[in-house]
Amino acid sequence: MARRKRFQTGQLYKRGKRRKVWYGRWYEDAMQADGTVRQIRRAEILGSVADLPTKREAQTKLDELIRPVNQGASRPGAFVTFRTFIETQWQPLVFPTFKPSTQHGYKTVLAVHVLPEWKEWRLRDIDRLAIQRWVADKFRQKTGWQSVRNAWVLLYGVLESGG
């Protein structure tokens, strides 16, 4: 039987001696390298006591951070690296669904363009800005337009399938 999702309000603390800050903690789902989901504790500094003078204001800010988790709108954060995800989940599950010619093209693009840059990145750290910088670097290196497009499409497809 599946465990019921629980609503959480988080925990709120004041920290620091000279420069006091509000510090919030909550639980969030995280995807492990083997594909299982478990809960981890997340923590974040919400702001200084000067910016948020009352506990109620700090709790309101914490509630804004926790809202997607409580509503079930957030996906489990992946702490797995891009290479591990490719090798353990994407290639065995998604790759066989492509035609042989597409598989051959994707293997080449993956080996030449995508993996050298992204293999050590955690999936959750790959964001739009990092991808835009990567594409701009590819153009600066005089990589052809179609090669850059193919690499970007493959990266996007991999991230959409599980990142």
pLDDT beyond 50 at 152: yes
The answer to whether position 67 is within a domain reads yes
Single residue among 53, 78, 103 that ends a domain in this structure: 78
- Higher-confidence residue of 119 and 38: namely 119
pLDDT for residue 61 is more than 50: yes
Q: Which domain covers residue 118, as residue numbers? A: 82-162
Mean pLDDT on 37-63 = 87
Provide the CA 49 distance to its chain's centre, in angstroms. Answer: 30
Q: Give the number of domains in the chain.
A: 2
User: In terms of domains, do 17 and 87 share one?
Assistant: no
Q: How confident is the model at residue 33 (pLDDT cuts 50, 70, 90)?
A: low
Q: Of 40, 58, 78, which residue is a domain's last? A: 78
Q: Would you say 59 and 12 are in contact if contact means Cβ atoms under 8 Å apart?
A: yes
Shared domain for 19 and 68, answered yes or no, is yes
CA–CA distances in Å: residue 33 to residues 18, 30, 37, 85, 110: 40, 10, 9, 7, 20
For the residues 35-51, what does the mean pLDDT come to?
Answer: 83
Note whether residue 5 is domain-resident: no
- 92 and 158 belong to one structural domain: yes
pLDDT digits (tens, 9 = 90+) for 67-114: 877 777 666 555 678 888 888 888 888 888 889 999 999 999 999 999
Global pTM? Answer: 0.56
